[in-house]
Amino acid sequence: MTDAAAEAGIRHPFDTPPAEGEGVEVAPGILWLRLPLPMALDHVNVFALEDGDGWTIVDTGFSSRRAKAIWEVLLSGPLRGRPVTRVIVTHYHPDHIGLAGWFQSRGAELVTTRTSWLYARMLTLDEQALPLPEQVEFQRRAGVSPDRLAAYAATRPFNFADVVAPLPPGFTRIREGDILTAGGRRWQVRCGDGHAPEHATLWSLEDHLILGGDQLLPGISANIGVYPTEPDADPLTEWLDSCARFQPLAQADHLVLPGHKLPFTGLPLRLRQMIENHEAALARLCDHLATPQTAADCFLPLFKRQIDGAEYGMALVESVAHLNCLLARGLVTRRLSPQGAWLWQAA
């Protein structure tokens, strides 16, 4: 690959996404579908791969009455009345695995990584009416204000079971390096971490196609967050390491079919952008920590704006992730304030 090819810009061969209930053919035997999401990022991409008398789909969207109705339209329309016989899930997040169990109940095989299945199965069974003490403590440690913390403690939290159909026991495991066949192609599994542990991406061995999930997105950054389940985790280092592992494999003419936004080419540039964007955010954060700050005090240097409302929770977990990364690098220290919040400061 020439230097000029490696530096090729990011391009979008398909500039119009499929309308609700419709599909766009992005390669022979591969349809691009979209399902709506009730949030700022208002969609998730799903890809249907023609497999004989049926279809393999990659990811599913949320479990909701609306999503199921859209799927019925898709099945009778773009999928031509053929059943979904296999569901490949890139990672365990609800917008990607939400209807996997529903398709299993209709006879489909579920294929995913072991970590994704275990996380999703556990979380769908863990339904809480109010936040657990550990969840409240996580927010306190992050520096959430007393008023916001009190409101959080008294409000029903998000539960996976709200938008993920029950997952019955049984799935087919894929792991790093595995090769599977779908849509008339052999695909090699390449796993990344950081956004979700053991996130599967699929790289075609027949042509320059990649099913990228949320590991390979154009223009937007996947959320890299730390959660009460593992408050001292360092997912940002895992994310940066994953990007570096993908760099020798990436070619400028790979067509990436991502979990959100538009399919794109120019993956070498995009991987470098993702690394550089986080490294720049870490540098700004270090400067901000000349004086002690809580995670909740770090939105402006990280995101270049203050954040409130529905995005607050995702910003908070990403702030903790960047701070944990700096701690692992030995660039910051932390101590508890009298209010029980971690105060972070440049070392």
Per-residue pLDDT of the chain (347 residues; tens, 9 = 90+): 334 444 569 999 999 999 999 999 999 999 999 999 998 899 999 999 999 899 999 999 999 999 999 999 999 999 999 999 999 999 999 999 999 999 999 999 999 999 999 999 999 999 999 999 999 999 999 999 999 999 999 999 999 999 999 999 999 999 999 999 999 999 999 999 999 999 999 999 999 999 999 999 999 889 999 999 999 999 999 999 999 999 999 999 999 999 999 999 999 999 999 999 999 999 999 999 999 999 999 999 999 999 998 899 999 999 999 999 999 999 999 999 999 999 999 99
Q: Which residue has the tokens 């959080």?
A: 152
**So what's the pLDDT on residue 310?**
86
- Report which residue type is found at 138: F
Domain ranges for the chain: 3-127+159-286
**So what's the pLDDT on residue 7?**
53
Q: What would the two tokens of residue 307 be?
A: 């954040």
Q: Residue 122 — φ and ψ, nearest 5°?
A: -60, -45
Nearest to 256 by CA among 215, 289, 286, 294: 215
* SS3 at position 226: coil
Q: What is the dihedral of CA 76, 97, 202, 190, to 10 degrees?
A: -170
Q: Which residues contact 76 (CB under 8 A, 6 or more apart)?
A: none
Domain 3-127+159-286: CATH superfamily is Ribonuclease Z/Hydroxyacylglutathione hydrolase-like (3.60.15.10)
| Own/partner pairs, 162-165, CB within 8 angstroms, 24+ separation | 163/62, 163/63, 163/64, 163/94, 163/95, 163/98, 164/62, 164/63, 164/94, 164/97, 164/98, 164/101, 164/120, 164/123, 164/124, 165/63, 165/98, 165/99, 165/100, 165/101, 165/102, 165/105
In whole angstroms, what is the distance from residue 168 CA to residue 121 CA?
8
In whole angstroms, what is the distance from residue 93 CA to residue 89 CA?
9
Burial bucket for residue 225 (CB in 10 Å: 0-12, 13-18, 19+): buried
Q: Residue 58 — φ and ψ, nearest 5°?
A: -110, 110
**So what's the pLDDT on residue 4?**
42
The answer to whether residues 298 and 322 touch, using CB atoms and an 8 Å cutoff, is: yes
Q: Residue 272 — φ and ψ, nearest 5°?
A: -65, -40
In whole angstroms, what is the distance from residue 95 CA to residue 118 CA?
16
**So what's the pLDDT on residue 5?**
41
Torsion sign, CA atoms 255, 10, 90, 326: positive
Q: What would the two tokens of residue 199 be?
A: 């996130």
**So what's the pLDDT on residue 2?**
37
